[in-house]
């Protein structure tokens, strides 16, 4: 059980970095149809958001099992909440701008969604590093 938390955080960070930093850009590089690449990337980001919510819930449950007053719980909830806000708040606006052909609005919403994604990813990485240090890992 002692390894569950750092392992889940490492897997979560790996998921977010892989999707946002490797797979999504690769889709746009490899696929000739940018619309298809965007649709596939969008589905990957949606899946990453759902998995993030599940992992955050599991980590919170582990925290509560260890101590009902666990102060670390919000540290893993906020990245999942930020990703969820981006997915279900910003993404519909981004899609509406794309359909309307409003390239300026699309770019602005895309930039906000990207910022949310990478801030959340940084939060998960920071939580992993803090957990690793707390566990006494070499520095």
Provide the domain count of the chain: 1
Name the nearest CA neighbour of 53 among 109, 120, 6, 112.
120
Residue 35 belongs to domain spanning? 4-134
- Residue 87 is assigned to a structural domain of this protein: yes
- Residue 139 is assigned to a structural domain of this protein: no
Find the mean pLDDT for residues 66-85.
79
- Residue 30 is assigned to a structural domain of this protein: yes
Name the packing angle between helices 91-100 and 34-66 (round to 10°): 170
With vertex at residue 80, the alpha carbon angle to CA 76 and CA 84, rounded to the nearest 5 degrees, is 165
Q: What pLDDT is stored for residue 65 in this prediction?
A: 75
Q: Rg for the chain (alpha carbons), in Å?
A: 17
Q: What pLDDT is stored for residue 133 in this prediction?
A: 87
Question: For residue range 96-128, what is the model confidence (pLDDT) as tens digits?
Answer: 999 999 999 999 999 999 999 999 999 999 999
Whether the model clears a pTM of 0.85, i.e. scores above it, the answer is: yes
């Amino acid at each position: 059980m002692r390894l569950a938390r750092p392992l889940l955080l490492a897997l979560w960070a790996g998921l977010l970095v892989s999707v946002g930093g490797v797979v999504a850009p690769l889709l746009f590089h490899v696929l000739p149809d940018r619309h298809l690449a965007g649709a596939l990337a969008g589905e990957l980001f949606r899946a990453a958001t759902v998995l993030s919510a599940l992992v955050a819930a599991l980590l919170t449950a582990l925290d509560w099992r260890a101590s009902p007053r666990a102060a670390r719980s919000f540290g893993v909830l906020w990245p999942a909440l930020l990703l969820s806000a981006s997915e279900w708040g910003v993404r519909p606006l981004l899609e509406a701008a794309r359909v309307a052909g409003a390239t300026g609005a699309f770019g602005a919403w895309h930039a906000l969604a990207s910022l949310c994604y990478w801030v959340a990813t940084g939060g998960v990485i920071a939580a992993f590093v803090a957990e690793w240090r707390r566990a006494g890992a070499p520095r």
